[in-house]
Amino acid sequence: MKKNISIALLSLLLIVVASACNEDEKTISTTKASAGTTNVNQPEVQYGLPIMVKNTDILMYPLSLNSKDQDSDKREVKSIHWNFIFYNVISGTKDFLTREKLIINSFQIGDSEKGTSNQPTLSDQFIYYDINDADTDGDKKLTSKDANKLYFSTLGGKSFIRITPNNYTLSGWTLDNKHDLILLNLIKNVSGDKKSNHLPEVEYFTYNLKTGILKAVFDQKLKHEIENLAKKVL
């Protein structure tokens, strides 16, 4: 009888010890998982409503950020689009516009200035983006105060290309459908004293959508001739 009681007590003791070990294992496992997933600075991705790309099977989904960083309010970015997902409803493929760090201030699908009754032109085969892609003001942050650049891509988000040169800021642009051109108004970035009272000089360029060639309208030779003629007027 005593032997049976001893065996029963020993079995009960083993069950208690095993249960305690299991609880310890659960606690350790939960703690590790919690430590690995907690990040107060983890940005929150927001998915925008789909945008139909006319005359295609493509939907554009804007991606935005809602940062939980306490310093996020210092970014001063009005538009928080940083990427697009292009979804083909027929094939089911999903593609990013880019994997680079940038801010998309605005975008335009084709030539928005034309009426719906107009015949499609080469310019209607592209999407145009006003973008900040580098810290050009030296504040160590990418914001809408940095130099604006003009990019474009196909309607499916492919061949994402920057048109504006590195040392220029986009001031304005328009489409010349008759000649398949983008007319660009650019300001050359000047290093040095940022408090200069001199107004920035706008330089004019054309970008050929067929050839991919960017040209300055007023090259150095023409500028020299203009300056010499101007001296006769004074």
E strands within 33-125?
Answer: 44-47, 51-52, 58-66, 81-88, 94-96, 103-109
On the CB side of 149, CA atoms within 13 Å amount to 22
- Alpha-carbon distance of 83 to 91, in angstroms, equals 21
Q: Are 111 and 176 in contact (CB under 8 A)?
A: no
Q: What is the DSSP letter of 120?
A: P
**3-class state of residue 58 by DSSP:** strand
For residue 34, what pLDDT is reported? 42
* pLDDT computed for residue 118 by the predictor: 75
Straight-line distance from the first to the last Cα atom of the chain, in angstroms, rounded to the nearest whole number: 126
> How confident is the model at residue 19, as a pLDDT?
52
DSSP H or E stretch at residue 176: strand 168-176
Which pLDDT does position 6 carry in this prediction? 54
Q: What is the pLDDT of residue 115?
A: 65
So what's the pLDDT on residue 67?
A: 53
pLDDT at position 193 is: 45
Positions in the chain whose pLDDT score sits under 70: 1-43, 67-79, 115-117, 190-199
Q: What per-residue confidence (pLDDT) applies to 116?
A: 64
Domain boundaries, the chain: 44-233
